A and B are shown apart, each in its own frame.
Chain A
Amino acid sequence: MSTATAPVSASAQRAAERNWQGRYREYDLVKEFVVALVAVSVLSVALAALFSSPDEKQINISQWSRIAPNDFVATAATELDRTSGTATYGAPYTHDPSAAQKIGPITPQNWLGVTHPIDTVSDFVVRPLSQVAGDPALTAALTQWSAGSATQQEGWASAYDDALQKAPDNDPNKVATADYGPVPVMLSSLLKVAQSGGLDGELLSQGKFFATDYTKPLLFIADGAYLEDQARAEHLGGDQWGMMKETGNYPGQAWLWLYTVWYQVKPFSTSPNADALVWGLMMLLTPASSSSRSSRVFARFRGGSRCTG
């Protein structure tokens, strides 16, 4: 063993690191790769056969509106008075620079502006309702809505939203009597359209035949409480496992732990700018960990006291 041999000098160590001139052994790289490929294939097939994979069915608007109609109408009311999560989001959905998250003095959320514009009143409520034919009450309500001024529309929608939040179980049938203009008829019609399945297609297609962009239906569903309730039941909430977990008892994106863990600790857990701060931190950490400069610093730290001799 090396105990009888003089220790390797630092210069010899560095030379060996750059260009190895010492002993070699036989090594069959191709055989090693083939064996590894067979082993990993067998292991993957065994894991797939034994544990399968989760497939929790998607939630659609039709299902949501039938199972939780009060939540659906309450959400639609916030879309109509522009107080929903989407309506108040800012870039890239709505024009409200003050809504952007901040990293100190900068707001990168605003830099590229509104690239996926969403008008929650038009896109989520009025436009889908305008496709409904043969409903005189709805037609009259839409006529009244479009004839009203912006202030009047906001007044009707806000008054109804407030009353709905005060109603027992947010039940539209128990809302206090007042002048809400055409809003009650519009929202009860939207509920019928949703329950029939028509709103799923309308929010996706937005008047087009081919469509693959689910931004609008997803944001509408996410504005309600139903989606989050289902996620929390699967322990997927932001203060639970978050995105790194899969539905059921399956490993998810465990490698995201360093990202999701920041959301659980202060100051991130209590900051209104948590997303921007965590992302800013991760964008600093990732290149720092791979840069040659930090690598050299670490190598010096690791080798500094051990390679002298």
Chain B
Amino acid sequence: MTAPAASRSWTVAVRQRAVRAFPPDQLLPDKQPIYVAAWIYVFGVLTLAAFLVVLLSGGVLAIEGPQWWHTSSTGHFFNSLHLWSVELFLAFMVIHLWGKFWMAAWRGRRAMTWITGALCFAGSIGTAFTGYLVQTNFDSQWISTQAKDGLNSVGIGAVFNVTNFGQMLMWHIVLLPLVVGVIVGVHVLQVRKRGVVPPIDVDPIDLIPEQGR
């Protein structure tokens, strides 16, 4: 009997590579290193949860369009939900970021985890900023006419026109959430691949593997 020929299927190749890179036990583990017990580790998952609430509340606002919340109490409630979930999202993210900064969380080949996290923060600021531009009220008028000067002064305003409502709406509800979503996905996969960074001063007892594990 001859050995089976190596598959030339792209699908098989992608599957094998994905499983090699992220075995199911590593992608969704049911154990974590002993040091993953402090409260500071919770802010990453809180940020993720808030991101989901932001996307869902924004999705509801998108159903009726950008003017809906001015004339409907239901729309206004979902706008409020969107606002407060964004505030929570960025608050959790900032705490998560500072916590990881003081842990020097890029140690142990985790530079890409750190960089994607910082990019998430920058992308989220941009997404939130465009949200303020498309409120279609006084605030968006003032913010757009002020922000244009900074963006124009470095040439960005030539292509990214904050006073163009249609353009900003597209950036806010399509392009930037897509970019942030992809970066969040890569960031989470990096965390799963490299694991959560240990404390700077590892407890020697924690380094002793448990018997039978």
Contact = CB atoms under 8 A, between A and B. Distances in A.
Interface of A: 1-2, 5-8, 12-14, 16-30, 32-33, 36-37, 39-41, 43-45, 47-49, 51-59, 89, 91-92, 100-101, 103, 108-113, 115-116, 212-215, 218-219, 221-222, 227, 230-231, 236, 238, 242-243, 246-247, 250-256, 273, 275-276, 278-280, 283, 286, 289-292, 295-296, 298-299, 302-303, 306-307
Contacts, number: 285
A22 B31 CA distance: 12
Contact of A14 (B33, B80, B108, B206): B108
Given A16-B198, A242-B146, A279-B150, A57 B46 contact: no
B190 interface: no
A40 B49 contact: yes
Nearest to A29: B28
Given A53-B83, A112-B159, 8 more contacts: A16-B207, A17-B197, A20-B33, A22-B206, A91-B155, A108-B155, A212-B166, A292-B106
B7 interface: no
A32 B49 CA distance: 10
Contact of B34 (A5, A24, A91): A24
A108 B164 contact: no
Contact of A306 (B69, B132, B201): B201
Given A16-B202, A22-B209, A231 B45 contact: no
Interface of B: 28-34, 36-37, 42, 45-46, 48-50, 52-53, 57, 69-70, 76-77, 79-81, 83-85, 87-88, 90, 94, 102, 104, 106-109, 111-112, 114-115, 117-119, 122, 125, 128-129, 132, 135-147, 149-155, 157-159, 161, 163-167, 169, 195, 197-198, 200-210, 213
B157 A255 contact: no
Contact of B145 (A23, A218, A280): A218
Contact of A92 (B102, B157, B197): B157
B61 to A, nearest CB: 11
Contacts of A253: 125, 128-129, 132
6 closest Cβ contacts across the A-B interface? A212-B166, A17-B108, A290-B118, A112-B158, A48-B80, A292-B111
B198 A20 contact: yes
B205 A1 contact: yes
B115 A290 contact: yes
A6 B203 CA distance: 10
A1 B203 CA distance: 8
B43 to A, nearest CB: 10
Contact of B158 (A32, A89, A91): A91
A306 B102 CA distance: 14
Contacts of B45: 32-33, 36
Contacts of A296: 106, 111
Contacts of A32: 42, 45
Greatest chain B CB density within 10 A among A33, A44, A255 is at A44
A289 B210 CA distance: 38
Contacts of A24: 31-34, 210, 213
Given A215-B161, A246-B139, A21 B146 contact: no
A231 B209 contact: no
B52 A22 contact: no
A28 B28 CA distance: 9
Contacts of B112: 292
B80 A2 contact: no
Nearest to B118: A290
11 contacts: A16-B207, A18-B109, A23-B34, A36-B42, A44-B84, A44-B85, A47-B84, A57-B138, A116-B161, A212-B167, A306-B201
Nearest to B139: A247
B200 A303 contact: yes
B204 A243 contact: no
